[in-house]
Structure 1
């Protein structure tokens, strides 16, 4: 994002928005001013008394500028010398009584206060002939009502149909003004949306990889402060996780010393007690070793790259099949994900190993969409009680109550699976299959 500075200091975002909006308003006002200066004033429509007479006699106007409607619509309105002069010419041209012709101008009548004293104004001069009377013009809108010999009143007015040319010019100019504003609106929207999009991508990347590179976003001071706050939050989260992992690793490591002392003291104990305690000590040592490995594998930063998940699954299943294990992989197309080879291979090994250990067989299925890859491992064992479904991913939880009690395990396999899935921006779930057995599902961003 290009930086905008004044006197060496960056302009805040709200000032940038204000300046863009101000420039937009100024541009529109300049265009409106040009509209007043460039677009000509509308031409007034000119009508002759002869055209009105023809409309009254024939009911049609060849030019289509007039319309005839029944009834009386004109009234005296405000008197002006113009009304008196044109009305007298109409009476002379129509050869009608004075009370049979009425004239008014909608743009004048009722809008102004009469300022003429009729007693001081001489009567209007009549045209020399009816032909001259028919040539008298009326500029603009008018309403003429005439009484026919049968006593019926008819009214002639201008026919307003569609837009006049000057109105079309105004509409086109307004459209041009809107087009002129579009670049300003586009620039403003882009400046506002771009940093938000970058933050959304950074948040998504943080969910997939907590140890991703810090956000590098430049721009106005508000954007820079938000980017720094985001990076500080990411650093605090990583430090929090690292501190907890370090604490667990330290506790597990320090437990080895008292266990070693306990083994030394058990050498002088009776055989029955010593053998039982030695088995417990070995179990505790195995748990400590597994805990240290779990902390080490889930806390270290690893490189990620695009890889074919199906090829990785084929390597795991082929190795197990070569050893005689009943494991199958459903065929399908390659599925590309971005991840760590070692971590994802351990994830697959844990899921398939659990199915083989507790159910004796494993069926692996890979599927994917444009945005997501799905790993499903199904077995045909006894399944898991519904109350333990949400606990199987807890560290050191063992579901031996529903499986073979003779099988071992520390209880960190599924915990490691979920940790790897979450670290890659996905998740892991288990459920009892409707046809029996357990179905473990892992979703990863494709």
Structure 2
């Protein structure tokens, strides 16, 4: 089935976004009226600058003690002369300025070579002079202060229309941008979820091959990688299981040949053979448990722990479970029970007792098995999870198993999407913790 490339889809979607924005701009150009600046007369300005003038909706009047000098402007020079004529005062007492537009610098002019402006013929002619746009005019009073008149800064209707149009443009393009972002991030989220599932359960279902060609190809590569990993693990487990199984035959032959050996030698060799048979049996059990797909169902983890505690208590072990609320998770009952029995049994074997607690932390469930034993050497904490390693130097030298209990328990925790670790407690003892998805 043909699939269009992701690049082409993104490119077309971006073209659609640009086309929508341009169409909105063309519509604005057609619909909007040409903005016009407000027109004032020198008569209005002069009337506001006269003593007793009051602010209006279009003009604002203020008093200032001083006024900073500004660059010369030919337009301002002509209007200053008209205002001075309308007020009947000297031209050097009048000052008018025009604000610099946004993102523009103030223009620099040269007076050299320009003819001097001619004042209006009469005061009425001066009052009829037109001032277009915003301004800031002032006249100096006899005491040195200034009366300032400014055009009111209002939000013109055309600016409101442009702002509204901008909001409409964003609203029109937003669905396309949302679709683009979703299309780009959805496959990435799917891969992240698939990688998380693979880390929790290597036997999880493969990714569905769908979407653009690049995504489908990446999903196929991910699925092939998952299949190769599973085959690699299966092959290694098969080899280890076959070797462990085939070791039983030579061990049996050794036992038969020892029948004619001296009693002392036969007894010593038989003990070694039994140890080797126990190791073979433990290895086969470990390979079988770690290579089996776990069937998961909702279960109450606290009830499962209670059955383990009750079994050990009936045998006289000093074990206890911290009370709490039921904790329901998705898991395999047999595997989790074996894991708990392994951890609590180790604590009883090496320290004489154990205390178990189960608590929910955010989206995780944490199980802790604590004991009051002598603890473990720091270098043995992580090595304790290596197959066939026994850290008896730090605990009880008279007891010990094959060395596959903790590796099997960690494999069970990781098969459920969690993890497991050991740590020395303050004041002595060891805590074995297990985290599982809640």
TM tier, smaller: 0.7 to 0.9
- After superposition, give the CA deviation of every residue in 1:335-364 in whole Å (9 maximum; x if it has no partner): 122221111111011111112222222221
Of the three residues 150, 172, 193, the one matched with 1:201 is 193
Could you tell me how far 1:274 is from its partner in structure 2?
0.9
Please provide the CA RMSD for this pair.
3.5
Alignment of 1:425-440 (within 5 A): 425-440=417-432
Q: Look up the match of 1:77.
A: 74
CA contact (8 A) 1:89 1:126 kept: no
Distance (Å, rounded) in 1 between the aligned partners of 2:286 and 2:97: 98
Q: CA, structure 1 residues 287+143, in 2 after alignment: closer, same or farther (shift >3 Å)? A: closer
TM-score between the two structures when normalised by the length of structure 2: 0.84
Cα distance between partner residues in 2 of 1:99 and 1:360: 105
Task: Select the residue among 216, 222, 240 that pairs with 2:232.
Answer: 240
Distance in 2 separating the partners of 1:374 and 1:105: 73
Structure 1 counterpart SS, 2:421: strand
In 2, Cα distance between the equivalents of 1:199 and 1:31?
38
Q: Are 2:280 and 1:288 equivalent residues in the alignment?
A: yes
1:428 partner SS: strand
Q: 2:256 matched to which residue of 1?
A: 264
Normalised by the size of structure 1, how large is the TM-score?
A: 0.83
CA contact (8 A) 1:263 1:278 kept: yes
SS of alignment partner, residue 356 of structure 2: strand
1:374 is aligned to 366
Note if contact 2:410-2:419 (Cα within 8 Å) is conserved in structure 1: yes
State whether structure 2 residue 331 is matched by structure 1 residue 334.
no
> Alignment partner of 2:434: what SS?
strand
CA–CA distance in 1 between the matches of 2:264 and 2:365? Answer: 53
Matches within 5 A, 1:132-211: 134-135=127-128, 137-141=130-134, 158-211=150-203
1:43 and 2:36 aligned? yes
Question: After superposition, what is the alpha-carbon deviation per residue over 1:381-438, rounded to whole angstroms, capped at 9, x for unaligned?
Answer: 3332333222211111123333333335211111111111121122221223223232
Q: CA deviation at 1:47?
A: 1.5
Secondary structure of residue in 2 paired with 1:215:
coil
Q: Name which of 7, 10, 17 aligns with 2:10.
A: 17
User: Counterparts in 2 of 1:410-429, with a 5 A limit?
Assistant: 410-429=402-421
Contact 2:369 2:433 in 1 (8 A): yes
Q: Give the stretch that moved more between structures: 22-31 or 281-290.
A: 22-31
Equivalenced residues, count:
425
Summarize the alignment of residues 223-234 of structure 1 with structure 2, pairs less than 5 Å apart: 223-234=215-226
Q: Secondary structure at the match of 1:286?
A: helix
Contact 2:374 2:429 in 1 (8 A): yes
Residues 1:253 and 2:253 are matched in the alignment: no
Instruction: Go from structure 1 to structure 2 and tell me whether the alpha carbon gap of 1:111 and 1:352 turns closer, same or farther (over 3 Å shift).
Output: closer
Q: Which runs of 5+ in 1 are unaligned?
A: 1-7
Q: How does 1:88-107 map to 2 (within 5 A)?
A: 93-94=86-87
- Going from structure 1 to structure 2, the CA distance change for 1:57 and 1:385 (only over 3 Å counts) comes to closer
Deviation of the 1:91 alpha carbon: 7.5
Q: Flag the 1:254–1:61 CA change in 2: closer, same or farther, 3 A.
A: same
Contact map agreement 2:85 2:120 (CA 8 A) in 1: no
What runs of 5+ residues in structure 2 fail to find an aligned partner?
A: 101-105
In structure 2, distance between residues paired with 1:290 and 1:87 = 106
Change (3 A) 1:100 1:76: farther
Q: Pick one of 313, 334, 341 that aligns with 1:321.
A: 313
Specify the SS of the correspondent of 1:337: strand
CA distance in 2 between partners of 1:418 and 1:97 (Å): 98
1:365 aligns with 2:362: no
Note if contact 1:101-1:145 (Cα within 8 Å) is conserved in structure 2.
yes
- Quick check: 2:35–2:158 contact (8 Å CA) kept in 1? yes
Q: 1:213 aligns to what SS in structure 2?
A: coil
Shift of 1:209: 0.9
Matched, 1:348 2:340: yes
Structure 1 residue aligned with 2:51: 58
Distance 1:142 1:352 in 2: 88
Distance across 2 between alignment mates of 1:389 and 1:151:
91
Q: Output one character per residue of 1:117-158: Cα deviation in whole Å (capped at 9) or x when no partner.
A: 99xxxx99968xx6676455444456778788x698979765
